[in-house]
């Protein structure tokens, strides 16, 4: 053995070669080397000395340590409830029991229940459409009879009064909703419905980086109103404003106006919701936003230039050089005519703002953001910029 | 899992059920161990006490996340390590400053103590000086290496437990330990040469 190998033994066994469980022949070889090599012998001596001195280091424990910790810890905190929802055996057996009552397997029961729910949805949709048509008929009859219909509401979707009433209502609803969220999710911003995260640092903390496990999609309910599907391997954080997507893909289904200011942030952009279904994918310094329903607004944070991405459209934001806007046939599925009209009108400005965003993106310094907590804000901002909204 | 007459799992179950007072048993049992590690990492009594407190505060809040596959002590030390890393990041500049000036100031202090008619025999003082210099050398190690050394020499943890605490492979623990010990030996030898 050479000096290097002997040193390795000295380091590993802290200089205690004898009685360290090393094979006798190796111990003998080490000892004979130590007799002949002064440097290694000195290294061993120092290693023994150093280990002994380290071991002799004593810590003085404060007398009232435990009691002082108890007095501060116990009243200060309540155990956090588990954030990951688990399907307990009782839930499964409950479904099994119901299925048993019907005399079918739990799988068939689930299938039958799904069919019932779908049928109920279809009936609701038909009835809803029928209701809208009936409303139109009522208006026609009222017109023919010379009765002053609620013109402001039906014919003037951008009417201030109508908007005001509607916004007040939704404002109240949102406030109540927020209060409920605040109450219920004081410690937990989201609940995990399915899938799993590989927690990178161990403890759950707001804004801590998570990664979705390979081969699984993570489905979370964010503040009870947004269903967020985070695709496999995506890296993300969650905070009070929404999701910060480091890489990967996120799909969001958010009830209109239910969560003002909800956003998905990527290294290139911030995508803020008006009330919509959309997805955001982030990879290789670019972000792709695809809007399935409603609209989202893309704003350059620095210059305040913005563009809308409507239903059926997609937008690619590149960190380095470009912003691409691809327009598919526009199918806007919005409940409110006002929103429909506004979204259409606002879209007319999209190209100009897109080019502005593209210009700033070329500099590589300006982050691109999506702004607009609700459609009213969007409309007001456009109004301030002297853009006429078609009636 | 059963030590000092306390079954950790049973106690944790009671805490989970809402019996907060049971957590006192955990604090009583592990506070000394956590404080010792914290003190050896921070070398400051007040900070060590704060860190220990934070460890138990966090453990209490997130008790539902405790995985009984690991020893409770391992989980607590892991929390301590994570908190220490966070503090280390914010105090890095301060520590760098200490490193750059540590030698001279410390030596001066020891010299003064030595000259100041210390009642202890010379050899004892010299030994103490050497011990404290070794501690100084350990303090200069990066957080990862310092933690490995602390757990290895003072924590009485196996390689596997250190790996669990630091969430790194056992091989990495061994290689870090080897490098850290090598560093300590080299610096200690240099110090002894200087003192000759």
**What pLDDT shows up at residue B76?**
93
Chain A contact for B58 (CB, 8 A cutoff): yes
Q: Are A63 and B49 in contact (CB under 8 A)?
A: no
Chain A residues touching B19 at Cβ < 8 A: none
Closest CA to A45 of B95, B169, B118, B189: B189
Chain B residues touching A204 at Cβ < 8 A: 62, 65
Q: Are A194 and A229 in contact (CB under 8 A)?
A: no
**What pLDDT shows up at residue B117?**
43
Closest CA to A308 of A340, A336, A285: A340
**Does the distance separating the beta carbons of B56 and A57 come in below 8 Å?**
no
SS3 content of chain B, % helix, strand, coil (to 5): 80, 0, 15
Which residues are registered as beta bridge partners of A281? A249, A288
User: pLDDT of A161-170, one tens digit each?
Assistant: 333 334 444 5
Band of the pLDDT at A353, cuts 50, 70, 90? very low
Q: How far apart, in whole angstroms, are the C-alpha atoms of residue A95 and residue A109?
A: 8
Distances B75 to A212, B28, B189 between C-alpha atoms, Å: 23, 16, 36
Chain A contact for B30 (CB, 8 A cutoff): no
What is the token pair recorded at A294? 């409603």
End-to-end CA distance of chain B: 50
Closest CA to A39 of A94, A14, A71, A2: A2
Q: How far apart, in whole angstroms, are the C-alpha atoms of residue A224 and residue A42?
A: 68
**Does the distance separating the beta carbons of A43 and B58 come in below 8 Å?**
no
A105 vs A181, higher pLDDT: A105
pLDDT averaged over every residue in chain A: 64
Interface A-B: count of C-beta contacts within 8 A: 116
Residue A328 pLDDT > 70: no
**What pLDDT shows up at residue B180?**
92
Name the pTM for this structure: 0.43
Provide the 10 A C-beta neighbour count for residue A285. 14
Domain count across chain B:
1
Q: Are A368 and A353 in contact (CB under 8 A)?
A: no
Band of the pLDDT at A132, cuts 50, 70, 90? low
**What pLDDT shows up at residue A79?**
54
Domain ranges within chain A, ordered by starting residue: 3-55, 85-127, 184-384
Chain B residues touching A8 at Cβ < 8 A: 178
CATH number for the domain spanning B124: value is 1.20.140.160
Q: Are A83 and A188 in contact (CB under 8 A)?
A: yes
What average pLDDT does this structure show over A119-133?
81
Provide the 10 A C-beta neighbour count for residue A161. 10
Q: Give the β-pairing of A242-254 and A263-265.
A: parallel
**Does the distance separating the beta carbons of B130 and A56 come in below 8 Å?**
no
Residue A243 pLDDT > 60: yes
Phi then psi for residue A239, to 5 deg, are -140, -170
For B134, the closest of A42, A50, A80 (CB atoms) is A50
Burial track A52-77 (b if 16+ CB lie within 10 A, e otherwise): ebbeeeeeebbeebbebbbebbbeeb
Lowest model confidence (mean pLDDT) among A213-227, A316-330, A363-377: A363-377
- A1: number of CA atoms within 13 Å, CB side? 21
Residue ranges making up the domain that contains B15: 2-195
Query: What DSSP designation does A15 have?
Result: T
User: pLDDT of A247-259, one tens digit each?
Assistant: 888 888 776 666 6
Chain A contact for B16 (CB, 8 A cutoff): yes
Q: Are B179 and B145 in contact (CB under 8 A)?
A: yes
Provide the 10 A C-beta neighbour count for residue A190. 16
Phi then psi for residue B123, to 5 deg, are -60, -40
User: pLDDT of A63-95, one tens digit each?
Assistant: 889 988 988 887 655 555 554 444 444 455 667
Band of the pLDDT at B80, cuts 50, 70, 90? very high
Which residues are registered as beta bridge partners of B193? none
Q: Are A312 and A293 in contact (CB under 8 A)?
A: no
What average pLDDT does this structure show over A11-35?
86
What average pLDDT does this structure show over B39-46?
89
User: pLDDT of A331-351, one tens digit each?
Assistant: 223 333 333 333 333 333 333
ipTM field: 0.76
**Does the distance separating the beta carbons of A65 and B185 come in below 8 Å?**
no
**What pLDDT shows up at residue A233?**
81
Lowest model confidence (mean pLDDT) among A138-147, A278-287, B143-152: A138-147
Residue A195 pLDDT > 90: no
Chain A contact for B181 (CB, 8 A cutoff): yes
Closest CA to A10 of A24, B154, A39, B149: A39
Q: How far apart, in whole angstroms, are the C-alpha atoms of residue B96 and residue A294?
A: 54
Chain A contact for B139 (CB, 8 A cutoff): no
Residue A210: enclosing H or E segment and its boundaries?
A: strand A210-212
Phi then psi for residue B46, to 5 deg, are -65, -45
Q: Whats the size of chain A, residue-wise?
A: 391
Q: What CATH number should be reported for the domain whose range is A184-384?
A: 2.60.120.1440
Picking from A73, A208, A209 by the largest number of B CB atoms within 10 A of its own CB, the best residue to mutate is A73
For B56, the closest of A47, A69, A79 (CB atoms) is A69
Q: Which residues contact B79 (CB under 8 A, 6 or more apart)?
A: A202, A203, B55, B58, B59
Chain A contact for B20 (CB, 8 A cutoff): yes
For B189, the closest of A46, A51, A72 (CB atoms) is A46
The owner of tokens 């009213």 is: A376
């Amino acid at each position: 053995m050479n000096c290097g190998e002997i040193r390795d033994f000295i380091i590993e066994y802290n200089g205690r070669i004898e009685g360290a469980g090393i094979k006798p022949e190796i111990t003998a070889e080490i000892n004979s080397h130590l007799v002949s090599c002064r440097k290694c012998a000195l290294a061993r001596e120092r290693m023994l000395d150093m280990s002994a001195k380290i071991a002799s280091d004593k810590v003085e424990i404060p007398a009232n340590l435990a009691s002082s910790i108890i007095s501060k810890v116990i009243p200060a905190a309540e155990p956090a409830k588990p954030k990951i929802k688990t399907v307990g055996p009782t839930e499964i057996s409950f479904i099994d029991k119901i299925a048993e009552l019907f005399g079918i397997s739990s799988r068939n029961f689930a299938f039958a229940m799904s069919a019932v729910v779908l049928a109920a949805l279809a009936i609701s949709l038909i009835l809803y459409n029928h209701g809208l048509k009936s409303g139109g008929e009522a208006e026609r009859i009222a017109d023919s009879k010379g009765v002053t219909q609620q013109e402001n509401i039906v014919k003037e979707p951008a009417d201030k009064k109508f908007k005001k009433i509607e916004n007040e209502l939704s404002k109240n609803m949102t406030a109540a909703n927020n209060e409920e969220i605040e109450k219920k999710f004081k410690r937990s911003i989201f609940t995990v419905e399915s899938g799993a995260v590989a927690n990178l640092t161990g403890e759950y903390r707001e804004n801590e980086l998570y990664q979705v496990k390979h081969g699984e999609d993570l489905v979370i309910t964010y503040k009870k109103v947004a269903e967020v599907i985070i695709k496999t391997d995506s890296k993300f954080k969650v905070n009070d404003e929404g999701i910060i997507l480091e890489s990967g893909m996120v799909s969001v289904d958010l009830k209109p106006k239910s969560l003002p200011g909800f956003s998905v942030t990527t290294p290139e952009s911030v995508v803020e919701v008006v009330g919509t279904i959309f997805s955001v994918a982030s990879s290789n310094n670019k972000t792709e936003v695809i809007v399935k329903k409603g609209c989202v607004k893309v704003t350059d944070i620095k210059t305040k230039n913005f563009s809308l991405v409507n239903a059926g459209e997609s937008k690619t934001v590149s960190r380095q050089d470009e912003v691409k806007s691809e327009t598919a046939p526009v199918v806007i599925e919005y409940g409110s005519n006002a929103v429909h009209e506004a979204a259409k009108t606002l879209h007319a400005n999209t190209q100009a703002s897109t080019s502005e965003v593209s210009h700033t993106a070329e500099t590589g310094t300006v982050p691109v953001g999506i702004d607009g907590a609700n459609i009213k804000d969007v409309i007001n901002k456009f109004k301030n910029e002297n853009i006429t909204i078609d009636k | 899992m059963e030590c000092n007459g306390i079954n950790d799992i049973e106690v944790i179950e009671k805490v989970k059920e809402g019996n907060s007072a049971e957590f006192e048993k955990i604090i009583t049992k592990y506070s000394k161990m956590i404080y010792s590690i914290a003190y050896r990492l921070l070398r400051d009594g007040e900070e060590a006490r704060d860190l220990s407190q934070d460890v138990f505060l966090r453990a209490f809040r997130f008790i539902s996340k405790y995985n009984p596959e690991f020893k409770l002590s391992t989980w607590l030390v892991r929390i301590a390590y994570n908190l220490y890393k966070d503090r280390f990041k914010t105090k890095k500049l301060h520590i760098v400053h200490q490193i750059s000036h540590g030698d001279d100031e410390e030596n001066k202090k020891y010299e003064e103590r030595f000259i100041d008619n210390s009642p202890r025999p010379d050899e004892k003082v010299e030994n103490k000086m050497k011990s404290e210099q070794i501690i100084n050398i350990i303090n200069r190690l990066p957080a990862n290496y310092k933690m490995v050394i602390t757990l290895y020499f003072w924590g009485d943890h196996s390689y596997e437990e250190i790996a669990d605490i630091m969430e790194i492979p056992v091989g990495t623990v061994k290689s870090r330990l080897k490098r850290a010990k090598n560093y300590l030996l080299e610096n200690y030898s240099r110090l002894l040469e200087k003192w000759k």
